[in-house]
Every structure is written in C-alpha cells, then in structure tokens.
Amino acid sequence: MKTIEAIGKDLNDAIAQGIKALGVIQDEITYEILSQNETETKVKLTIKEPRQYLQTLTNYVLTSMGFKVGITVNKDEQGFNINIKTRHSDSLLIGKNGENLWALQYIISRLVKRFYSNIKILVDVNSYRQHRNNFLRKKAEAIARIVLQTGREMALDPMTPREERIVANKINELKSVKLYLIGRGGNRTVIIAPADEDKVENKD
C-alpha cells in the first residue's frame, strides 16, 4: 500500500502537497496528522485499500466523463469485479460487442497499476459480461446439439478472442464435438464440428 509523508504550512497545504506528489485526487487517499504547529503541518497520506480505491477511482473516471453511475466492487478468487450500474448509459459504456467496455477496463487497469500492480480487475456494466457469457455458453451448447443431429459443422457469429475462449471452454466439456478456427485477426471464424472430423485449426 502506497504511503508518503508531506509537509505544508497548514493541513490543507500539506494534503495538497501530498496528493500532488502521488498524482491522485483527495478522495483516493486517507491521511493522518503526524505533527502540527503554527507554521507547519506534517501528514502521512495513504492510498485507500484496494476495494475502496477501485470504487473511488472508477467513480471519478466516469463522473469526469459526464456519467451518473453507481458502483459496486466485489472480490473472488480471480480478482476484483467492478460492476457499474446505470439506467440510461449502459449501451454507450458497453459499445458494440463490448468494445467500449474493454477500453474502459484498460483505462482503469492502467490507473490502478500505479499503486496496486498485482491485482486483477474485471469491469462490467449492469452485469453485461455475466449475461453475455451465459448467453455464449448456452448458444455453444445449442449449436453443438444441432451439429450432432445433422453431422454437419456450423460457424458462429464473429466474437472477440475472450468470447472465443468462453465458447471453447464450453465445447471442451462436450466430448462429441470440437471447435476450430478459420482465418486470423478480425477475419477469424469459429467453427463447431463433430469430434470425429479431421480439421486443421487456425487455417488462413
């Protein structure tokens, strides 16, 4: 946890010197007065603990962009989950195929790593990721059933690499079908096929 000491002519000046040195806003820190007299005040500034810091930072980023949101931060075995709750701005924050959401996560992650370099975060909006991931798993399972019934492979709609991994993990649970990719980059297509077909993955 990042901590520094700062000195100023009074309390407000000492805090201002400290947050300038840290490159943060006052809401991101707590402070303790170490000494104080008529001409000088010395304080210790500490970056808030991760959960509180993530909530404050995310709120600052979004309100600075003009959004009115509520934010909850929960922790599980994979890291911290930041869920942004909004009534009218979810489509704008999420973007097409979640592109804006991933950009927002990148910005927040970069800011967080100034003080907490080892924590992992996942940013979500109105639980979009959770709903999207559940949808992808169910869709993969439904397509797999059709592939088994018809004996013919099927292509899925374009997905991000992260979404492809979610589908791949679901397909790996099903022993009678398999997944392979055709193309590269933005032209990559996900194919679900019967497991006994002999296909080469990542074909150009």
- pLDDT tens digits, one per residue of 139-175: 999 999 999 999 999 998 888 888 888 999 999 888 7
Query: What CATH number has the domain bearing residue 145?
Result: 3.30.1370.50
Residues 143 and 180 placed together within one structural domain of the fold: yes
Residues 101 and 152 placed together within one structural domain of the fold: no
Residues 115 and 69 placed together within one structural domain of the fold: yes
Residue 104: pLDDT over 90: yes
Last residue of a domain, one of 94, 126, 158: 126
Last residue of a domain, one of 126, 154, 177: 126
Residue 55: pLDDT over 70: yes
Structure pTM? 0.69
Compute the distance between CA of residue 58 and CA of residue 123 in angstroms, rounded to an integer: 9
Residues 100 and 155 placed together within one structural domain of the fold: no
Give pLDDT, residue 203.
46
What is the number of structural domains in the chain? 3
Residues 148 and 92 placed together within one structural domain of the fold: no
Domain span at residue 35? 3-47
Q: Which residues of 79-112 are buried (b: 16+ CB within 10 A; e: fewer)?
A: ebbbbbebeebbeebbeeebeebeebbeebeebb
Last residue of a domain, one of 104, 126, 148: 126
Residues 145 and 180 placed together within one structural domain of the fold: yes
